[in-house]
Structure 1
Amino acid sequence: MRRFLFASLFSAIAGAGTAGAATLDSLKWDYRVIAVFTPTQTAGQNAADTLNRTTGIENRDIAWFVVTPEAVQSNQSRSIDRASLTALHEADGFEAVLVGKDGGVKSRQTEELDVDAFFGEIDQMPMRQQEMQQQ
């Protein structure tokens, strides 16, 4: 556990000056964000596989990021500043965080990634309701 936190902190400091990297702020109003923090690469790969297989990510304008001590995986082609992601991580070990298009944290999961629960929350948001009516 301490190793994960130390690695996250070190990576945040080391990656803070990454040129050209997006920040969560730069995604605001364009994307909802699902950030998943896992203590191991294997758990991170499982979360990324789940998100890659999930239909409905694109039409909900979701940018997802899976953060492990070793790497960040995403459905975005542009890299993201690791520090802007790790600032969301509050729990020890696993945590999944849903951030709305307004940049506010909407929900946290600490047991396991439940994409359907996040989709249910997203689909109740007023902005998403408008998007569904316009489709």
Structure 2
Amino acid sequence: MLKSLMTEIFGVGPHPEETSGNLHDLQWEKRVIVIFSDPARLKSDAQLGALRADTDALRQRDLAIFTVDNNEVRPAFGSDFVPQAHTLRKDLGCAPGAFALVLVGKDGHVKSRYDDVVDPDVIFAEIDSMPMRQAEIHR
């Protein structure tokens, strides 16, 4: 609120790098999976293929998927928003060149991190056990 007042009154706001390119725009709307590519892209391609095999499950769980390969981010499912690679690496703590899958909840917090390909059913079960998802299921 203070930042919005400063912007409105003084024309001064947060530095653009502080607010651009992060996952904040998807908070409370989407759960996010970020797949950081391995150098040969074997694990990352296998992981993305396994997840995309069940688009209904992805849709039901309000998922957005992004792949990060070096400095390039590609929306792979559920969103056209394109966060910045350096921001994702910094915010999610992933070094370049290492495979990782990071699950971020609708609240914007990291829920899980995997360093190997994981069966989508494991991810779906984890999401389904979250309190917010339980509330969605019961509605």
Note the 1:48-127 alignment, pairs <5 A.
48-55=48-55, 56-69=57-70, 71-74=72-75, 75=77, 76-87=79-90, 88-90=92-94, 93-127=98-132
Give the corresponding residue for 1:9.
none
| 1:71 Cα deviation after fit | 2.9
Distance 1:112 1:46 in 2: 7
- How far off is 1:28 after superposition? 0.7
Q: Deviation of residue 72 (structure 1)?
A: 2.1
SS in 1 for 2:24: helix
Displacement after TM superposition at 1:57 (Å) = 0.5
CA distance in 2, matches of 1:103, 1:114: 23
Shift of 1:117: 1.1
Q: Secondary structure at the match of 1:98?
A: strand
Return the alpha-carbon distance in structure 1 between the equivalents of residues 127 and 68 of structure 2: 22
Distance 1:111 1:42 in 2: 12
SS for the counterpart of 1:34 is strand
Q: Judging changes above 3 Å, is the alpha-carbon distance between structure 1 residues 70 and 49 closer, same or farther for their aligned structure 2 residues? A: farther
TM-superposed deviation, 1:23? 2.3
AA partner of residue 105 (structure 2): G
Give the secondary structure class of the aligned counterpart of 1:101.
Answer: coil
Higher radius of gyration, 1 or 2 = 2
Counterparts of residues 14-53 of structure 1 (less than 5 Å): 22-40=21-39, 42-43=41-42, 44-53=44-53
2-side partners of 1:48 and 1:41: how far apart?
A: 14
User: TM-score scaled by structure 1?
Assistant: 0.73
Check conservation: 1:65, 1:73, Cα contact below 8 A.
Answer: yes
